[in-house]
Chain A
């Protein structure tokens, strides 16, 4: 009670005492912020309701079941112009996922190779890779996407297609590839491949346990390669080659057989993977440089060969530095794939834009975009965080 009395000094009004208390002050600030946000939201909501009523728009997601009257030429699932808006959005989502997945794989490969080569002691090589990295990194990706698309559209017409070994044809309508036709017996090949993957996982686990106990190493990579590639190949041969290739044949105006990859997809894929690959190469380079020289020297002193030093000592430690920024590059690539709209590749944003124009359901379509991209981001970062935890440094 004494403290209370001393706080109530004459000449110190109550509000000033309250203001000097950090917690009360924080509370007041927050109340003010809540009030401001609430007013802002109320303003927007009331405007939105008024605007929608005046425009005579019904809000809600019922429009997803209406018929879409447009065509989509790039699709992974069945779709015609009589399908619904909802299905069109799924087609767009799958296209986004397709180009993002292809881009992530290619960008990772390009990035790791370029990152390692840039550290090469070879002056010419490292400068050449450096030029690639600096040029692609410093030019807008949208410009690169449009550039590649224009280059691909500049390929010869269908009649004068560039043929690669009489099976692959390049022309201004894209790339015509042989289509595999799976015959009976192919399921055995698939089963063998699956068995190979499972067996490799077990071999890898067994080998790690054995190495921890005895220090002996087992050639996991080569045995895995044999199991995953060799075993299905063997089954393929035994089953009598159950895949027939539908090889495209040039006809008068087009091709018969095979399947076509659109120039939009190829342009987007090349642009996204070279652009992101340049960023990844810088991340890989920084990661490798972050491993202290002592580690390489210690590995050398233990008698490891340079290749072993790289793969067993440097790369595993560099990965810890590489993974977090690599995740954000993957997310950037996925988000940049939305620039597809500039060249007419029908991804989620592009198809959403068409639906938005046809149905006028702007709020709903934009809401779907945001939810989908946020969940793609969340899924990717969850997976990468899981991987990051697995390889994180275990400290005592």
Chain B
């Protein structure tokens, strides 16, 4: 008779069992996230109630009860939104008063933006080296396409309008404000007192006043400051002011990045015998800009949203076109539709910028840990 081995514990491994229903899967997730305590349950119920109030109402208004066809607001008979104007007005909303048979130039400029931006924004783009040259040339190409000149019909800048005006001012501001902001930030930390004082003065004065007063300055004061026969194109004035405004904020963002770089980096660059600009461009700025990415992109987003302010000095960007349409007798009272439509454009542009900045932060962050 063989003695059965006596085990205090289990002899063989038990098979793995699934987690109880209450902690895993849908039920577990619901319990953990929505019904973990009575307060949490109350919040969930309130949130559900709000969603139940809001979502169907918006969906009904925007889609199910909406009218999409017609020549004026009287064609819209149902209770929801009236989108009949979109078909008629979309051209103005996008291109302003740009000659209708020339709008392909705007479209082309926007399409060319993709190969110009791709090598700067993403890694692993084919022909990135060659495309970077194109990115550098893009501002010239786009200006030529939009304004015209050699071979293309000239279009005066006061015909610019709609979302295209927002994009023009916004992109020009973005392209110009980053380098100017970097120079201002370096100037503010310069050891030369005169340069430092000038930079601090510029940054603090521009940051202290609203953009709208700067736009007024460009509109009212600039003619007083210039000789009587000199006039500056109003689009250029707006771009200059928006750039000046954004670069003051940019300078502060980048200064934050510069201050975060340890002193040892500056000293190491000096010890290597690098000159001031060499050490800045090769050692300090790449690190400082990397840290400042969220702030830089936020400044870009702010700048892009601020392009709507041009309506106050009488330019017709997408918001100005919307305002004009809302007061047109044919479409009177369609304000909600018009503003929601416009808001959608800005939301797409700004939200994708902020998502991209989060993506970029993550990408650069993993590089640092490697």
Contact = CB atoms under 8 A, between A and B. Distances in A.
Interface of A: 26, 29-30, 33-34, 37, 44, 47-48, 50-52, 54, 120-125, 128, 134-135, 137-143, 146-147, 150-151, 154, 335-336, 338-339, 341-342, 349, 353, 356, 362-363, 366, 369-370, 373-374, 377-378
Nearest to A46: B227
A378 to B, nearest CB: 7
A349 B210 contact: yes
Interface in B338-370: 339, 342-343, 346-347, 350-351, 354
Given A143-B308, A150-B339, A338 B44 contact: no
Interface in B218-249: 220-221, 223-228
Nearest to B190: A26
Given A128-B50, A139-B346, A122 B43 contact: yes
Given A143-B343, A150-B336, A366 B213 contact: yes
A44 B34 contact: no
Nearest to A334: B210
B223 A51 contact: yes
Given A120-B40, A122-B47, 14 more contacts: A33-B195, A34-B194, A121-B32, A121-B33, A122-B34, A124-B47, A134-B351, A137-B350, A138-B301, A147-B335, A335-B211, A339-B212, A363-B224, A373-B210
B57 to A, nearest CB: 15
Interface in B314-353: 319, 323, 326, 333, 335-336, 339, 342-343, 346-347, 350-351
A139 B305 CA distance: 7
A356 B48 CA distance: 53
A377 to B, nearest CB: 4
Contacts, number: 148
Interface of B: 32-34, 36, 40, 43-44, 46-48, 50-51, 191-195, 198, 205, 207-213, 216-217, 220-221, 223-228, 301, 305-306, 308-309, 311-312, 319, 323, 326, 333, 335-336, 339, 342-343, 346-347, 350-351, 354
Given A122-B34, A122-B40, A150-B335, A143 B319 contact: yes
Given A30-B193, A143-B343, A150-B339, A366 B216 contact: yes
B336 A151 contact: yes
A51 B224 contact: yes
Contact of A143 (B46, B48, B192, B346): B346
A383 to B, nearest CB: 15
A125 B311 CA distance: 37
Contact of A125 (B44, B205, B335): B44
Nearest to A335: B210
19 contacts: A30-B192, A30-B194, A33-B194, A48-B225, A121-B33, A122-B47, A125-B43, A137-B354, A138-B347, A139-B346, A140-B305, A140-B319, A150-B326, A336-B210, A338-B210, A339-B309, A349-B210, A362-B221, A366-B217
A83 B32 CA distance: 65
B94 to A, nearest CB: 17
A26 B192 contact: yes
A146 to B, nearest CB: 7
A370 B213 CA distance: 8
B335 A142 contact: no
A30 B224 CA distance: 29
Contact of B213 (A26, A143, A338): A338
A76 B350 CA distance: 38
A338 B195 CA distance: 31
Contacts of A30: 192-195
Contact of B347 (A135, A146, A154, A341): A135
The 5 closest A-B pairs by CB, nearest first: A138-B350, A335-B210, A123-B33, A140-B305, A150-B335
Nearest to A338: B210
Nearest to B191: A26
Contact of B339 (A121, A135, A146): A146
